[in-house]
Amino acid sequence: MVLPLEQLLALWGEPLGPVPTGPLEAVATDSRADLSGALFVPLVGERYDGHRFLESALRQGGAAAALAQRDRLPDAEARALAQACRRPIWQVDDTLEAYQQLGRLWRRSLAVPVVAVTGSAGKTTTRELIRAALAPLGPVVASRGNENNDIGAPLTLLRAAPGTAALVVEMGMRGSGEIDRLSRCAEPDVAVITNIGTAHIGRLGSREAIAAAKCEITVSLAPGGLLVVPAGDPLLEAALAAGWSGRVQRVALADELPSFPVELPPADRVAAFDAVANAITLQDRLDEDGSPLVLSLPLPGRHNARNLLLALAVAEELGVEATALCGLAVEVPGGRNRRLCLGGVEVLDETYNASPEAMLAALDLLVAPAQGSATGGRRVAVLGTMLELGERSLELHRAVGARAAALGLDGLVVVADGPEGRAMAEAARAGVKRLEQVATPEEAAPVLRSWLAAGDRLLLKASRGVALERVLPLLDPAEAGGERG
């Protein structure tokens, strides 16, 4: 990385202390990192303040320069520190905003396509599908872990090196305005909205507000850029009409088309989904033998069929042929789309997080026939609470329970002792063969050990705060496999 001095001077003017004699070679926010030749940016949060480490970063860490936030370090103190350390310090109003400016500056210097991904569910999975789909172009840098916020987005951009072929930036949000800032930071060439659901509805108040917030991704989308979305969502289309007049590509699965309102724009890309084969068929793309192109899904489930269509649209926009996605392989972070085998029980590990839409999709996946999965075993779920749903929390938990009942699950353990857990359990009771409600993940384990036998399939899903993954080590293969009841 090289940050030319003239561009930094154009951003923030003359620094306090000596003026650098050459470009800076890195950007760092952690004073414990190797700061040689780096610009140190002290970020400020609710429980931390990087300014505490500013002096040590300059004196002992070897930082070549630093930023400082005026309300944290007055000009006189900043000037004295810069002179004492003989290092330049730029004073800014907000170090986080300055950090995002640096991410944008570096993104522009690389001159490579940037793909931004947001949505109520499936962001990370779709991000990884896009990363894999773009691999034929060369090295792809994508968000890692939770790099989907005000700090993570610029960090992703700054990790890219010269020679990077494409950047994929995940954009999460907990309120309006956040994706606006991330879009301005990343300036995407292609943007993807996976869906509009009810995650964080407790903060935003309605799905209409969620749709508007997700569509902020178009704020700095290139004028000639492409927006890729699922077809058939009236709320999403209304939000787009209010703020984006550029190109849109809509994707859909063939059996969903009859349910779409006729007044909405039609789907541009349609595929037939085969749950048993775990594949999609593209009628408008041909294989080498002239037959419709069939793409195997690297991850199971109808929702991932849609996610693959979104990734395909991005790949083709950036010059990757659809046939290059044959045999696509993808790895997603733990607790998402992970399959385990414990004592002969197939475990669908979806413990990382949960929204109502993701819960319903996971339940459908649990009961769906699929290649390589148990066909004669029972279907059991462990479901925990979903957080940040506000006034609709009871209603949405009840809807999840109702889906479990409608699917006729063989067993359901609800891990929640509050009103949401009771609402889910009460709605499920009429159709679920066995039902238990417990307070903690640890209490679910003995119930499962008494229920499960080899050949069964088990789903684990809840919001991150439930820490449902604590069940997994307690399902000891030596103890699993009780008598079937």
Class of residue 372 by CB neighbours under 10 A (exposed 0-12, middle 13-18, buried 19+): exposed
Question: How large is the C-alpha radius of gyration of the chain?
Answer: 25
Work out the angle at residue 351's Cα, subtended by the Cα atoms of residues 199 and 411, and round it to the nearest 5 degrees: 100
As a whole number, mean pLDDT of residues 135-154 equals: 95
Helices (H) and strands (E) in the chain, counts: 15, 19
As a whole number, mean pLDDT of residues 204-210 equals: 90
Residues spanned by CATH 3.40.1390.10 within the chain? Answer: 5-96
Starting from the edge strand earliest in sequence, which strands make up the sheet with 435-438, in order? Answer: 338-342, 345-350, 457-461, 379-384, 411-415, 435-438
Quick one: pLDDT at residue 373? 55
Work out the angle at residue 416's Cα, subtended by the Cα atoms of residues 410 and 421, and round it to the nearest 5 degrees: 70
Comparing CA positions, the residue from 313, 302, 300 lying closest to residue 267 is 313
Q: What is the CATH number of domain 338-474?
A: 3.90.190.20
List the beta strands (DSSP E) in 72-165: 89-92, 114-118, 140-142
Question: Is the per-residue pLDDT at 479 higher than 50?
Answer: no
Architecture of domain 5-96: 3-Layer(aba) Sandwich (3.40)
Class of residue 204 by CB neighbours under 10 A (exposed 0-12, middle 13-18, buried 19+): buried
For 54-88, the pLDDT digits (tens) are: 999 999 989 999 999 999 999 999 999 999 999 99
Quick one: pLDDT at residue 142? 97
The 3-state DSSP class for residue 393 equals helix
Question: CA-to-CA distance for 366 and 461, rounded, in angstroms?
Answer: 11
Q: 133-156 as b/e, with b when 16 or more CB fall inside 10 Å?
A: bbbebeebbbbeeebbbbbbbbbb
Question: CA-to-CA distance for 209 and 35, rounded, in angstroms?
Answer: 42
27 or 1, which is more confident?
A: 27
As a whole number, mean pLDDT of residues 204-231 equals: 95
Question: Is the per-residue pLDDT at 204 higher than 70?
Answer: yes
List the beta strands (DSSP E) in 387-478: 411-415, 435-438, 457-461
202 or 223, which is more confident?
A: 223
Quick one: pLDDT at residue 417? 86
314 or 387, which is more confident?
A: 314
Whether the CB-CB separation of 357 and 195 falls below 8 Å is answered with yes
As a whole number, mean pLDDT of residues 439-464 equals: 94
For the 112-325 domain, the top CATH level (class) is alpha beta
As a whole number, mean pLDDT of residues 206-234 equals: 96
Beta bridge partners of 340: 347
269: left (phi over 0), alpha (psi -120 to 50) or beta: beta
Question: CA-to-CA distance for 217 and 117, rounded, in angstroms?
Answer: 8
Whether the CB-CB separation of 67 and 41 falls below 8 Å is answered with yes
Work out the angle at residue 374's Cα, subtended by the Cα atoms of residues 369 and 380, and round it to the nearest 5 degrees: 85
Quick one: pLDDT at residue 481? 41
Comparing CA positions, the residue from 348, 346, 347 lying closest to residue 336 is 348
Residue with tokens 């944290």: 72
Quick one: pLDDT at residue 375? 57
| pLDDT class of 477 with cuts at 50, 70, 90 | low
Q: Which amino acid is at 409?
A: L
Question: Is the per-residue pLDDT at 440 higher than 80?
Answer: yes
Quick one: pLDDT at residue 162? 93
Class of residue 15 by CB neighbours under 10 A (exposed 0-12, middle 13-18, buried 19+): buried
Q: Which amino acid is at 384?
A: G
For 277-327, the pLDDT digits (tens) are: 999 999 889 888 889 999 999 998 899 999 999 999 999 999 999 999 999
Quick one: pLDDT at residue 1? 83
Whether the CB-CB separation of 212 and 176 falls below 8 Å is answered with yes
As a whole number, mean pLDDT of residues 207-231 equals: 96
The model's pTM = 0.87
Question: Is the per-residue pLDDT at 339 higher than 90?
Answer: no
Comparing CA positions, the residue from 165, 57, 122, 184 lying closest to residue 350 is 122
Average pLDDT of the chain to the nearest whole number: 92
Residues spanned by CATH 3.90.190.20 within the chain? Answer: 338-474
As a whole number, mean pLDDT of residues 133-142 equals: 97
